[in-house]
C-alpha cells in the first residue's frame, strides 16, 4: 500500500475478507449458498461452484472495490490457494493470500509462499482432473519447479501491476499507452483523448513509444517522480 501511494496518492486502506465481500455485495454466504443460486446469479446453469464464484467475484464484486481507497481482499477460499499456504481463520480454512484494488482495478496480489512440493503436486493433480472433466487439456507438471521448492525459505511475495499503476497515475484512458514496447498506432478516438491530455501525440513527436511520450510530456510532472 505504501508503494502504491506513489501512483495513486495517500489513501486509507480497507481490509475486506472474501467472505465479507460476498455478503456485502451479493448478500450470500459463499460457503453455504446452494449451487443453483450461484448459477442463477451467474446466469449459467452449467457452471461449477468454483466457476460461479470466479465470475461473481470478477463481474459483481471487483468493480466496487477500492473506491476512494485501497482495498485489500483477503482470506480467499482454500480452493483458491494456488501456490499459497492455507490456515484456519474463524473456523474456516482460507488461503494466505491477498489482492489489492483501486477503483475496481486489481493492482497487486501477494502470497505466503507454499514450499511443500507434495501439497502443490496434489493441487496440480486436482486442477488437472477438473480440467479433464471439463474437456480441457491438462497442464504439464513442472517437475523442476517441484524439485526446487525445498530450497525456498519461509517467505512471502507480492506481484504488482506496474503498467496498471502507471496508467492510473497518469490518468490515461487505456493501458496501451504505458506498455514499454512499440505499439501499433492508436485509433482516432484514443488519439483525441491522448492529445487532450498531453497536447500532442507520439505519432508526430519523433516516433516515441506511448510510455516514453507520457513520461516526457506529463503536464504536471507526475511521471518524473517515479
pLDDT in tens, 43-66: 999 999 999 999 999 999 999 999
> What are the start-end ranges of the E strands in the chain?
13-17, 70-74, 86-89, 92-95, 97-102, 105-112, 156-160
Cell matching residue 6 = 506513489
| Predicted pLDDT at 45 | 94
- 71 band by pLDDT with thresholds 50, 70 and 90: very high
Cβ-based neighbours of 164, under 8 Å, separated by 6 or more = 105, 106, 107, 175
For the chain, the distance separating the N- and C-terminal CA atoms, rounded to the nearest angstrom, is: 16
- 134 band by pLDDT with thresholds 50, 70 and 90: confident
Task: Report the predicted TM-score, pTM, of the whole model to 2 decimal places.
Answer: 0.79
pLDDT in tens, 8-32: 999 999 999 999 999 999 999 999 9
Domain boundaries, the chain: 5-115+152-160, 173-225
pLDDT in tens, 147-199: 999 999 999 999 999 999 999 998 888 888 887 664 544 444 455 555 555 55
| Predicted pLDDT at 176 | 80
35 has a pLDDT exceeding 80: yes
Cβ-based neighbours of 99, under 8 Å, separated by 6 or more = 72, 73, 106, 108, 109, 110
Query: How far apart (Å, rounded) are the C-alpha atoms in residues 81 and 215?
Result: 37
Domain at 5-115+152-160, CATH class = alpha beta
pLDDT in tens, 79-127: 999 999 999 998 999 999 999 999 999 999 999 999 999 999 999 999 9
| Predicted pLDDT at 226 | 39
Short-list 176, 180, 155, 154, CA closest to 167: 176
Amino acid at each position: 500500500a505504501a508503494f502504491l501511494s506513489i501512483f495513486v496518492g495517500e489513501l486509507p486502506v480497507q481490509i475486506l475478507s472474501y467472505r465479507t465481500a460476498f455478503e456485502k455485495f451479493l448478500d450470500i454466504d459463499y460457503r453455504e449458498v446452494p449451487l443453483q443460486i450461484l448459477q442463477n446469479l451467474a446466469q449459467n446453469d452449467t457452471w461449477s461452484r468454483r466457476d460461479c464464484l470466479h465470475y461473481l467475484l470478477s463481474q459483481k464484486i471487483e468493480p466496487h472495490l477500492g473506491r476512494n481507497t485501497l482495498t485489500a481482499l483477503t482470506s480467499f477460499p482454500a480452493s483458491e490457494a494456488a501456490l499459497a499456504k492455507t490456515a484456519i481463520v474463524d473456523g474456516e480454512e482460507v488461503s494466505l493470500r491477498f489482492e489489492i484494488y483501486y477503483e475496481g482495478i486489481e493492482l497487486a496480489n501477494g502470497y505466503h509462499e507454499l514450499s511443500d512440493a507434495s501439497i502443490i503436486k496434489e493441487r496440480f493433480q486436482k486442477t488437472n482432473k477438473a480440467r479433464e472433466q471439463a474437456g480441457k487439456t491438462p497442464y504439464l507438471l513442472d517437475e523442476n519447479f517441484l524439485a526446487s521448492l525445498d530450497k525456498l525459505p519461509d517467505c512471502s511475495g507480492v506481484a504488482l501491476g506496474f503498467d496498471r499503476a502507471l496508467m492510473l497515475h497518469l490518468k490515461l484512458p487505456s493501458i496501451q499507452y504505458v506498455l514499454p514496447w512499440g505499439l501499433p498506432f492508436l485509433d482516432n478516438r484514443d488519439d483525441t483523448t491522448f492529445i487532450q491530455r498531453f497536447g500532442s501525440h507520439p505519432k508526430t513527436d519523433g516516433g516515441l513509444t506511448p510510455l516514453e511520450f507520457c513520461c516526457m510530456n506529463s503536464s504536471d510532472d507526475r511521471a518524473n517522480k517515479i
